Amino acid sequence: MADSLLELLAPHLQTPTHDATTTEQYLTRLSTLSLDSLQSTEPQSLAQSSHSTLLSLQALSNRSHRAFITSADNLSTLRTSIPQLTSEAQQLRDALPKLDEETVGFSTKYSKITDNAALERRKKAMQLARNVDRLSDILELPSLLSTAVSAASANSGAGAASTTYSSALDLHAHIKRLQTLYPDSPLIQDVVSQAEDAMKEMTTNLIAGLRTQNLRLAAGMRTVGWLRRVAPDLEALHNDTTSGGGEGSLGAVFLVCRLAHLVSTLEALEPLRELADQETQRRTHAKEKSETWSNGQQTDRYLKRYIEIFREQSFAIVSLYKNIFDSEQSETETAVSGLRGINKAEKLASQLARTSDPLQKMPPALATFPMYLVQLLTETMRTYLPNVRDRGSRESLLTQLLYCAASLGRLGGDFGMILTELSDEEELSYEWEDVMRKHRALAGRLEQLTSRVPVH
């Protein structure tokens, strides 16, 4: 039915060919409508659809008129742009062989020239462009090293600090390898200079770590080990090359740092020391007036606390030193003596050479350190012990000194005999003899008791 209607109406319709399907669909719909619908409702429906389509077209034109105008302009110039693009592409294709010939000729002409400044600059620029990532990595090494050192010094955890210091040492070793590979590079020299500044800061932090309170053996050995890697000159300085080993200056640095901590701890007793100084002045004033001095309680408090701190810290310093340095030195000396002790003639010759040398090697730092500690203690006792006039208090202080001497004596620094010269007073000498006698009697009884205990 729709085909028949289309054939009848085709001469009267001005419908493009691409709209034939739409026309055929509408005619098919008309064939299904009744005559009343065609006369009444269909014209209204068509008018409503036309009005709705007109409104949509107006809204679209208002919203997208600029795009329509731009598209129309581009479409108007498309007929001339395409031929122009084709012509320019043809010209470029025709010029490529000539450009290739010129490039080959330039390369052939200048490939054998070595003194051309322009070519050298071009080669350096190209090489720099190829290695820009490597250079940026190298330039970041000092900042990474400084960050690692700062993080390790700010980190209170031993494990985290150990990891960070190890990373910093690895970075420094990598920078030293770069210096070995490229000794004449100004860039590498600048990086090495910045790295050395960071390692000086790390050395300062490690030395400051040796002055911390309650330094443990593990932390001390770690810190000394890092110092050996960071500042090897400290270990090489004053080392005896013939005896094989030694702590170098690291031992002296360790003792100085721990001595500084001991002095700062003793300085915390400043309020008690001021009271003891006041009693010293009053005793001196009473002696000038030939009056009897029977006070000294503040001095007794100060000396007891002083001896307690001295005993604890001195024993800790010497024991830490022996555990850190003497064990390593003994192992080194054993290994070296096994390698060099092939015959007795060589040993005797080396001994004669050392004895004939007028400039002998410096003794280990620990050889003179206990004497300095004892001097520090005896000077304090000579100054303040005469203030204490109570016999029981004096005996208590002398007993405490004796235990301090015995404690340090277990490490080879017994100074008990030096204490007999603390004062020129005859009364104090007798008291010291009584204290020594009681101490020996007590030690003998303890030895007898321990010898009677059965061993299981």
pLDDT at 242 exceeding the cut of 50: no
Contacts of 199 by beta carbon, 8 Å cutoff, 6+ apart: 145, 149, 172, 230
Task: Tell me the residue type at 402.
Answer: L
Q: Is 453's pLDDT higher than 90?
A: no
Q: Amino acid letter at 160? A: A
Q: Which residues contact 243 (CB under 8 A, 6 or more apart)?
A: 333, 336
Give the per-residue pLDDT at 343.
41
Report, in angstroms and rounded to the nearest whole number, the Rg of the chain calculated over CA atoms: 50
pLDDT at 413 over 80: no
Of 27 and 437, the structure prediction assigns the larger pLDDT to: 27
Identity (one letter) of the amino acid at 191?
V
- b/e sequence 93-113, b meaning 16+ C-beta within 10 Å: eeeeeeeeeeeeeeeeeeeee
- How long a stretch of residues is the chain? 456
pLDDT in tens, 53-76: 999 988 888 888 888 888 888 888
At 174, is the pLDDT very low, low, confident or very high (cuts 50, 70, 90)? very high
Name the pLDDT band for 245 (thresholds 50, 70, 90).
very low
Q: Which amino acid is at 250?
A: L
Predicted pLDDT at 430: 55
Per-residue pLDDT band for 337 (boundaries 50, 70, 90) equals very low
The DSSP line for 105-126 is HHHHHHTT----HHHHHHHHHH
pLDDT at 451: 63
Position 396 pLDDT exceeds 50: yes
Taking the C-alpha atoms of residue 182 and residue 128, their distance in angstroms, rounded to an integer, is 16
| DSSP per-residue codes, 1-54 | -HHHHHHHHGGG----GGGHHHHHHHHHHHHHS-HHHHHTHHHHHHHHHHHHHH
Closest by CA position to 333, among listed 240, 263, 196? 240
Residue 117 sits at the vertex; the CA angle it makes with 115 and 118, to the nearest 5 degrees, is 130
Task: Indicate if the pLDDT at residue 244 is higher than 50.
Answer: no
Mean pLDDT calculated for residue range 237-247: 47
Q: What is the mean pLDDT of residues 401-407?
A: 81
Rounded mean pLDDT of 403-429?
68
Average pLDDT over residues 167-180: 91
What does the pLDDT average to over 209-234?
Answer: 85
- Do residues 240 and 246 touch, judged by C-beta distance below 8 A? yes
pLDDT at position 89 is: 94
Taking the CA atoms of 30, 33, 38 and 40 in sequence, report the sign of the dihedral they define: negative
